[in-house]
Structure 1
Amino acid sequence: VGVLTGYSVVDLSILVQGPQASSMLHDLGADVVKVELPEVGDLGRWLTVAVDDDRSPYVEANNRGKRSVALDLRTQGGKRALFKLVEKADVLIHNFVPGTAEEWGINYDDFLEINPQLIYAAGSTFGPEGPNSRREGADMVGQAEGGIVSVTGHDDGHPTIVGSVISDHLGAQNMITGILAALLHRERTGEGQRIDVSLVGSAIYAQSSEMTYTMLSGKAPGRPNNNHPILRGLVHRCHTSDGYIYLLGVQEHLWNDFARCIGREDLIDDKRFATLVLEPHNMETLRDILDEIFPTRTTDEWEERMRTWGQRYGRVKTYDEVVTDETNLANGYVVEVDHPEYGAISVVGNPIRLSATPTETAVVAPALGQHTEEVLLEAGFTWEDIEQLRADGAY
């Protein structure tokens, strides 16, 4: 039994921000009904692995265990069915283009009469206020407008996006936090409320230390060239003979052991590095030295030396290495499940471990409209009602 067992979620969202938030709620035990446009569905269904493979990583990753209902919310019948679902729902999630919910009559205020305890979570790119509030966007817009792109890449090259839809994921995590906080508030007071979470706001919050540096100093950090824009101490990407290792925060009190680790004890008393943290202008010289040393050994060999000398480092792993890593498997970050169609497959597990109410990783994402009749019957519709909805073009 999950911590949210007995709670119900109506998810109108698409792609990542909203679907990942509701997916996490499902992992915590909630029943999630995914409402999709008939014949089209979540836009993520069209982002498939290959032209001849209809599996979508966006749908499989963010919609496992949900029930799919096909409803055209632009029709009176579809809207009536949605209101019936929301009557008893605890949470509604959407990330419509700004203005769409108001235009369709499914904004927060529209549901207050039938369900004043509803938690209504709206995702957007820029947030509900300000001159950009009605602009349409997506993850890369959130990364760019939220400053992430400006600090990613090399200072002698072009700014670049992160290789994941990171602002979407950050937006999803903040949406989950808001929903859980609102549910706790409702338990205490009986009040529902509206939640607004944006991609840009989430990107800014995730960089709060770096943003604060700018606000305190008046300087934008720029692209750090494989360093960290504000951390002091050695942070460097080291190219081994067969891969990469990132060094993290080699500071003065760790310097002697680090010099021994890399086989350069002569550097221990080198005055250029005696105050490594206080004199960062010597850092480039040190990086040049490291760039000569690290290609002389394999990543495995360097990893063994780093562990022996107690150094902080990270092995740069590709996705195929991450999903087969022994530690990741042991912690359930990647789990093997039995898919009814594809057999044994690996999926990303929930990173949260709860001792009393463990999370559960579902296996299958629903087909478009797979549970329409089942969910409508549960909501109180008769078969005659359902046939009328079909005749009216609601699904």
Structure 2
Amino acid sequence: MSTEVVLPDREPRRADAPAALSGLLVIDFTRVVAGPACTQTLADFGADVIKIEQPGRGDDTRAYEHAERGGESAAYLSLNRNKKGMALDLANPHARDIARALIGKADIVVENFSSSVMEKFGLDYPSVSSTNPGLIYCSISAYGRSGPFAWRSGFDPITQAESGFMSLNGFADGPPVRTGPPIIDLATGMSACNAILLALAARQKLGCGQHVDVALFDVALAMTGFSGMAYLMSGVNPTRTGNSPNDSPTVGVYEASDGPLYVACANDRLYQRLAAEVFGRPDLLSDPRFATRKARWINRAQLRRIIADIFASDSMDAWIARMNAASVPVGRVRTVEQAFNAPEVRTRQRVCRLPHATAGTIPNIEPPIAMQLTPTVEPSAAPRLGEHTAAILRDRLGYSEQDIERSRRAGAFGEGEPASRV
């Protein structure tokens, strides 16, 4: 049985603080995870992001199953904060005219359709950049917009599997494991946001925009990190090591008497503190089996059993207090429920609630970026499908009420759809 999590209202933003990206217009043709994650960050810091969705259905994440409030899913609400919502049927010529007019006024376009979709609509970079040479156009895809694999569609777990990233997750005696959260999607969204900001900086120097191309597979490959680099240097295929990198006996999960802890003694200095100051076991330093990092690795099974027995002798609170006093890295292995109610979350105001037109309020997870002079904008909930269509047409394109009605009758917003659901 689920219960509603009690959250505080958000503390107001400082009224005189500027927004880092204010004045930028972003036309957002993305859906699902990677693209919306990218554009949400732009919106959080003040860009005016207009999210274009298919009438009737909208972003696929609106119907995801994790949780629902006010008719919207947790996935959709978590990825579309601070955006304005517009419904356009891009199969309709009148709707494509509206899209081209908006792109003509935009600083940034972000799209993650399948290959050739934007080209079919006449909304691809070559088609729109000639009339807006300052445009920064970001394409997010599975395998890039060029090359022999550009035609392939793909999703986060597919690229985790194909890049070798998944082969590094899990325990040595088990199968490869995908990450729980869609980590490649989210990292691709971050990479796309970085690419856009780089292109903005370049535009200041060069006086023109450009096309940037970010692919899930490329991000997944890069995220193999030093494991991938080690393979290229040694020719040895890296394997899974579970919770302990390189099967280290001093890094990983140990069970205290009342629950699990994650310990990270990754060097000699920290191991010395753990043995002498936390455990009170100087013999674990003088014993030749454990005196050096190499010796500890060779005798890791023996050392792991000894450490496990020691941790099992006392509670999590007791060990955390001792290890914090000795500056030895340690943390509780928490569930999501425990984490979101932890002091690191609540006292640092990482979660709050926001007003929502149909739900009353919805939860909000704060962006993981803090800027002293240009903090995030005052947040607003993700838009309902087509919520701002009429307002965008009036404010951005100068449409009259008669113009909006003509567009509606022409089917630009979908058959039988009003210009706005407000």
Matched, 1:392 2:402: no
Matched, 1:242 2:258: yes
Q: Which residue identity lines up with residue 157 of structure 2 in the other structure?
A: M
Tell me what 1:287 maps to.
Answer: 304
Name the stretch that deviates more: 271-280 or 22-31.
271-280
Q: Which residue identity lines up with residue 258 of structure 1 in the other structure?
A: L
Matched, 1:186 2:210: no
Take 1:33 and 1:53, find their aligned partners in 2: how far apart are those partners?
21
Tell me what 1:381 maps to.
Answer: 399
Matched, 1:198 2:215: yes
Structure 2, unmatched stretches of 5+, are: 1-17, 414-422
Tell me what 2:130 maps to.
Answer: 113
What's the % identity of the aligned pairs? 33
Take 2:69 and 2:341, find their aligned partners in 1: how far apart are those partners?
26
Instruction: Note the C-alpha offset of 1:391.
Output: 2.0
Name the stretch that deviates more: 143-152 or 36-45.
143-152
Q: Which has the higher contact order (CA 8 A, sep 6+)?
A: 2
Where in structure 2 are the equivalents of 1:240-279 lying within 5 Å? 240-260=256-276, 261-277=278-294
Change (3 A) 1:42 1:345: closer
Instruction: Note the C-alpha offset of 1:204.
Output: 2.1
Match of 1:174 among 161, 181, 191: 191
Instruction: Note the C-alpha offset of 1:301.
Output: 2.1
Aligned residues: 394
Q: Which residue identity lines up with residue 117 of structure 1 in the other structure?
A: G
Q: Which residue identity lines up with residue 125 of structure 1 in the other structure?
A: A
Q: SS at 2:299's partner residue?
A: helix
Instruction: Note the C-alpha offset of 1:209.
Output: 1.9
TM-score, scaled to structure 1: 0.93
Tell me what 1:30 maps to.
Answer: 47
Q: Which residue identity lines up with residue 171 of structure 1 in the other structure?
A: T
Matched, 1:88 2:111: no
Segments ≥4 residues shifted beyond 4 Å: 50-53, 338-345
Matched, 1:164 2:181: yes
Where in structure 2 are the equivalents of 1:66-145 lying within 5 Å? 66-145=83-162
Matched, 1:302 2:319: yes
Instruction: Note the C-alpha offset of 1:70.
Output: 0.3
Change (3 A) 1:53 1:341: closer
Change (3 A) 1:157 1:336: same
Instruction: Note the C-alpha offset of 1:169.
Output: 0.5
Change (3 A) 1:212 1:42: same
Tell whether the 8 Å contact from 1:68 to 1:371 is kept in structure 2 after alignment. Answer: yes
Instruction: Note the C-alpha offset of 1:389.
Output: 2.0
Tell me what 2:345 maps to.
Answer: 328
Q: SS at 2:40's partner residue?
A: helix
Matched, 1:147 2:164: yes
Q: Which residue identity lines up with residue 56 of structure 1 in the other structure?
A: S
Tell me what 1:313 maps to.
Answer: 330
Tell whether the 8 Å contact from 2:249 to 2:301 is kept in structure 1 after alignment. Answer: no
Take 1:33 and 1:275, find their aligned partners in 2: how far apart are those partners?
58
Name the stretch that deviates more: 250-259 or 306-315.
250-259
TM-score, scaled to structure 2: 0.88
Name the stretch that deviates more: 43-52 or 30-39.
43-52
Q: Which residue identity lines up with residue 156 of structure 1 in the other structure?
A: D
Where in structure 2 are the equivalents of 1:360-375 lying within 5 Å? 360=377, 362-375=379-392
Tell whether the 8 Å contact from 1:252 to 1:274 is kept in structure 2 after alignment. Answer: no
Change (3 A) 1:180 1:332: farther
Where in structure 2 are the equivalents of 1:45-60 lying within 5 Å? 45-50=62-67, 54-60=71-77
Name the stretch that deviates more: 166-175 or 251-260.
251-260
Take 2:19 and 2:69, find their aligned partners in 1: how far apart are those partners?
37
Structure 1, unmatched stretches of 5+, are: none
Take 2:401 and 2:301, find their aligned partners in 1: how far apart are those partners?
73
**Residues 311-333 of structure 1: CA deviation (Å, up to 9, x unaligned):** 11232222222222222334443
Change (3 A) 1:299 1:341: farther
Tell whether the 8 Å contact from 1:11 to 1:33 is kept in structure 2 after alignment. Answer: yes
Q: Which residue identity lines up with residue 275 of structure 2 in the other structure?
A: A
Take 2:315 and 2:161, find their aligned partners in 1: how far apart are those partners?
36
Change (3 A) 1:19 1:51: closer
Matched, 1:8 2:48: no
